[in-house]
Amino acid sequence: MKIDIFELERFQSLWENTVKYNLTDSGVHPFRINELLSKDEIEKLLSLQIGYGQTNGSIELRDTISKLYRKADIDNILVTNGTAEANFISMWTMIEPGDEILIMLPNYLQIWGIARSFGAKVKPYHLKEELDWKPDFDEINQLVSSKTKMIVICNPNNPTGAVLSNEAMKEFINIAEKNDTWILTDEIYRGSELNGKETESFWNSYDKVIVTCGLAKSYALQGLRIGWMTGPKKNIEKGWAYHDYTTIASNIISNYIAALALKPKLRQKILNRNRSRLNENLAYLTEWLKPHKDLFTLTPPKAGGMAFIRYNMKINSTDLANKLREEKSVLIVPGDQFGMDHFIRLGIGTEKECFLSGLNLMEETLKEIL
């Protein structure tokens, strides 16, 4: 098996800890344990024995996750080390060489890379900027066939922040049912909707759906490295068997904190805090963009910790990102990482002071370029 370098992850890993102002994160600035848990909960955490936990996730955590999905129970859930492992196991258990899959673009390209490494025939379908980053179902219907094994969706979407309407979700389901095709949907940004209305999950909409999710983005609990698969029980049982060959288990401390974080009261507190920060920084960004209408075009994100911005300057997006990093110690994601030059992705979930300082330094660079 040959696998391509995951360029976006490598780019961020190389540079995010070397700059003063990191605007590449697509989630929200992380919590500290003492602002998340009560004193009693922290005391219990300190008394935990640091041994192996249950390999498919603690019973308490899987039960808590299952309550986020209609008609799911504990056996529909596999806890993984981050959503990245959930995505990997989902593909590993489903895809054989020669399988045909449709993948939404633009997108976080992990599943794209995994599918290609497994020998799948990958056919992209596109969210269209001219449609406010909505899918073009005429294009999808032309691509899908009885040979299509899976349709891959990211909802809410990275990098555009677009959210599928209920009508669009139903259209995906209709297409999948008509062609007896699986739906794999990455829902890691569910819960970060800026209007406070949580997106419906694809789970329980169709009998051939697998959902992946986790705590890194909407919940601002990146360091816990907790993700999960929600799927039919036979698929979850198979995924657990494959999980035995990857990381075996997620750590017991993360299972404990995650189970607390996903209880209804604390979960809502977390999501409210994070949405407030996203809305505040998006408002700052919107004001910053107003004097530059000739240079930038933004379809406002509806969810997630990022804004995907088209720019009108004669400079390559990677060159622009490198210039900002080298001269201003500001890191942004170039559109090249999504195969879309003349776009940049800005993280809007960071601390206000960092975000505003980064924008001010970008302003300086604009004056130098122009």
**Could you tell me the pLDDT band of residue 341, with boundaries at 50, 70 and 90?**
very high
Same structural domain, 255 and 277: no
Same structural domain, 229 and 187: yes
Residue (of 169, 143, 142, 144) closest to 155 by Cα position:
169
The verdict on residue 56 lying in a domain is yes
Same structural domain, 325 and 352: yes
Alpha helices for 159-263 (secondary structure H): 166-179, 233-243, 252-261
The residue range of the domain holding 22 is: 7-32+268-363
The verdict on residue 37 lying in a domain is no
The verdict on residue 369 lying in a domain is no
> What pLDDT digit, counting tens, does each position of 268-295 carry?
999 999 999 999 999 999 999 999 999 9
> What pLDDT digit, counting tens, does each position of 121-139 carry?
999 999 999 999 999 999 9
Same structural domain, 232 and 314: no
Same structural domain, 325 and 254: no
**What are 210's two structure tokens?**
């697998």
Strand order of the sheet with strand 306-311? 296-298, 306-311, 343-347, 333-334
In the listed set 266, 292, 315, which residue is the last one of a domain according to the structure? Answer: 266
Same structural domain, 86 and 232: yes
The verdict on residue 220 lying in a domain is yes
Residue (of 163, 123, 119) closest to 145 by Cα position:
123
Residue 318 DSSP SS3: helix
CATH number at residue 312: 3.90.1150.10
Same structural domain, 348 and 280: yes
> What pLDDT digit, counting tens, does each position of 45-69 carry?
999 999 999 999 999 999 999 999 9
The verdict on residue 368 lying in a domain is no
Task: Indicate if the pLDDT at residue 329 is higher than 90.
Answer: yes
| Cβ neighbour number for residue 131 with a 10 Å cutoff | 12
Q: Are 315 and 200 in contact (CB under 8 A)?
A: no
Distance separating alpha carbons of residues 145 and 331, to the nearest angstrom? 41
Beta strand ranges found along 206-350 (DSSP E): 209-214, 226-230, 296-298, 306-311, 330-331, 333-334, 343-347
Peptide bond connecting 159 to the previous residue in cis, omega within 30 degrees of 0: yes
Identify the residue whose tokens are 């036979």: 234
> What pLDDT digit, counting tens, does each position of 74-93 carry?
999 999 999 999 999 999 99
**What are 183's two structure tokens?**
């739906």
Average pLDDT, the chain: 97
Residue (of 222, 250, 228, 243) closest to 25 by Cα position:
222
Same structural domain, 217 and 278: no
In the listed set 241, 266, 291, which residue is the last one of a domain according to the structure? Answer: 266
Q: What average pLDDT does this structure show over 216-222?
A: 98
In the listed set 214, 240, 266, which residue is the last one of a domain according to the structure? Answer: 266
> What pLDDT digit, counting tens, does each position of 241-268 carry?
999 999 999 999 999 999 999 999 999 9
Same structural domain, 62 and 163: yes
DSSP state at residue 212:
E
Structurally, the chain folds into a number of domains equal to: 2
Same structural domain, 19 and 54: no
CATH number at residue 214: 3.40.640.10
Same structural domain, 262 and 272: no
HSE-CB of 161 using CA atoms within 13 angstroms:
27
State residue 172's pLDDT score. 98
The verdict on residue 253 lying in a domain is yes
Same structural domain, 201 and 157: yes
